[in-house]
């Protein structure tokens, strides 16, 4: 049957029926009726450096939403939201439905793992897909994603569908096909779904790795952090709704979809304000403390400086910095080879249950569009002491000659020569003048209006 679905596909009505059947196979989450319009969530198809959920859930809670985010673990080169949170000592992702309701009452958001009682048929089906070469079936992917969201009883959902060299879908056209299926099937189930298409050739933000991404998420909740991460979370400029949307805010779209903002731009401005005034960070602190983190540690993490935060989280034993192999302007840092090296170093898992090295990761010390100068001939990669996260630069001025472009955090004594070559090969330079880095956002596909339905 699975291969027949993969080869023949399913029409909209069939995919809606399959999704509903999967959702009905287990326990349904129940919330107070008064919460219905407040319940929202976000899902991502996975990427490198994607820490949007860590920022968006508390920001939406600060805007008055209830966010029962059921998230996943990393596998292969993609990082998992649950793994990132578990790098914070004490954080507990296993929460009962009753505990989830308590979290939503006290905090407004929670980020938890999927229990065996929720959508058990999807787990069985996924294992079968894995051994029947049907993992890439569009209807089966759609049903798997949405069935887990239907049981949350949401009023609105945004799905971040990645495309590019480090994404499930290399080409944007393939990602758009899934995005449209998610929006249409969601409408058939009575769920308002918007699907954002975002590029995943370059890592999102400047940090990759569990504790490094937690630090960068906190930096974003300080009202700072890398512009591309903030852009994906909020993006202040939105197109008129009658136009085919271009770059558009995830947070703003959710507040508009569930009726808490009259326009996407208004919703985006509210999410931005939650980041800038500290209210999102306050919700994050409360979520940490309510999900098992010592309140003193949660307070220190959320109120500390970047350097202080780094002392509170697991760290790798060594750091190695790479120098630019040539002069040039940074066109791209390929996310996939970077993630593969970090996977080899222990930041990822090949099989479910594999242990992780939370401190292993990498910091990009330069951004796309910035000019680099070649390191001195014969210079050796430099080991550096523990350092605070780099402050992302918004200008295109080159760093001094010989400055590193990448800092790798590792538990091994040093990178191997093949690993160094792979990382240097991830850096793509050109001869053109410095330029402003583009947004990773490509387009936003909105649900049909009542008139269209």
Question: What residues act catalytically?
Answer: 41-44, 81, 129, 144, 148-149
> What is the spatial distance between Cα 107 and Cα 85, in angstroms, rounded to a whole number?
16
Contact 142, 15 (CB under 8 A): yes
> Looking only at Cα atoms, what is the longest distance across the chain?
68
Helices 52-62 and 264-276, axial angle in degrees (round to 10): 100
CA 70 to chain centre: 13
Asked if residue 233 lies in contact with residue 250, where contact means CB atoms within 8 angstroms, the answer is yes
Burial class (CB in 10 A: 0-12, 13-18, 19+), 399: middle
3-state SS record for the chain = CHHHHHHHCCCHHHHHHHHHHHHCCCCCCCCCHHHHHHEEEEEECCCCCCCHHHHHHHHHHHCCCEEEEEECCCECCECCHHHHHHCCCCCCCCCCHHHHHHHHHHCCEEEEECCCCCCHHHHHHHHHHHHCCCCCCHHHHHHHHHHHHHCCCCCEEEEEEEECCCCCECCHHHHHHHHHHHHHHHHHCCCEEEEEEEECCCCCCCEECHHHHHHHHHHHHCCCCCHHHHHHHCCCCCCCCCCCCCCCCHHHHHHHHCCCCCCHHHHHHHHHHHHHCCHHHHHHHHHHHHCCCCHHHHHHHHHCCHHHHHHHCCCCCEEEEEECCCCEEEEEECHHHHHHHHHHHHHCCCCCCCCCCCCCEEEECCCCCCEECCCCCCCCCEECCCCCCCCCCCCCCCCCCCCEEEEEEECCCCCCHHHHHHHHHHEEEECCCCCCCCCCEEEEECCCCCCCC
Residues whose CB is less than 8 angstroms from the CB of residue 303 and which lie 6 or more positions away in sequence, other chains included: 285
């Amino acid at each position: 049957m699975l291969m027949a679905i993969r080869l023949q596909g399913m029409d909209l009505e069939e995919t809606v029926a399959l999704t509903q059947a999967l959702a009905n196979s287990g326990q349904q989450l129940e919330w107070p009726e008064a919460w219905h319009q407040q319940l929202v969530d976000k899902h991502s198809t996975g990427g490198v450096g994607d820490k949007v959920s860590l920022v968006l859930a508390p920001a939406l809670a600060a805007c008055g939403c209830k966010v029962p985010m059921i998230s996943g673990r990393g596998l292969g080169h993609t990082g998992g939201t649950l793994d990132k949170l578990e790098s914070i000592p004490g954080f507990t992702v296993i929460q009962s439905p009753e505990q989830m309701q308590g979290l939503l009452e006290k905090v407004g958001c929670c980020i938890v793992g999927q229990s065996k009682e929720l959508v058990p048929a999807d787990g069985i089906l996924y294992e079968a897909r894995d051994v029947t070469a049907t993992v890439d079936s569009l209807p089966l992917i759609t049903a798997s994603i949405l069935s887990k969201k239907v049981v949350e009883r949401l009023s609105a959902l945004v799905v971040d569908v990645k495309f590019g060299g480090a994404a499930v879908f290399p080409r944007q056209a393939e990602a758009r096909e899934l995005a449209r299926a998610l929006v249409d099937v969601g409408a058939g189930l009575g769920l308002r779904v918007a699907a954002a298409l975002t590029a995943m050739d370059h890592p999102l933000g400047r940090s990759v790795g569990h504790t490094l991404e937690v630090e960068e998420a906190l930096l974003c909740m300080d009202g700072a952090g890398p512009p591309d991460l903030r852009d994906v979370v909020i993006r202040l400029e939105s197109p008129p709704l009658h136009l085919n949307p271009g770059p558009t805010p995830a947070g703003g779209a959710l507040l508009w979809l569930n009726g808490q903002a009259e326009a996407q731009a208004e919703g985006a401005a509210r999410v931005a304000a939650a980041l800038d005034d500290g209210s999102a960070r306050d919700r994050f602190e409360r979520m940490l403390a309510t999900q098992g983190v010592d309140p003193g540690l949660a307070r220190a993490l959320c109120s500390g400086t970047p350097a202080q935060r780094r002392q509170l989280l697991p760290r790798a034993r060594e750091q190695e910095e790479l120098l630019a192999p040539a002069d040039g302007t940074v066109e791209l840092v390929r996310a996939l080879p970077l993630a593969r090296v970090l996977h080899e170093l222990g930041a990822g898992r090949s099989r479910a249950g594999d242990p992780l090295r939370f401190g292993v990761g990498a910091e990009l010390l330069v951004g796309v569009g910035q000019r680099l100068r070649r390191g001195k001939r014969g210079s050796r990669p430099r080991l550096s002491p523990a350092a605070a996260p780099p402050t992302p630069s918004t200008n295109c001025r080159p760093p001094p000659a010989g400055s590193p472009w990448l800092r790798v955090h590792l538990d091994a004594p040093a990178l191997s020569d093949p690993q160094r070559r792979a990382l240097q090969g991830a850096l793509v330079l050109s001869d053109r003048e410095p330029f402003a880095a583009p947004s990773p956002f490509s387009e936003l596909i909105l649900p049909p209006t009542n008139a269209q339905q």
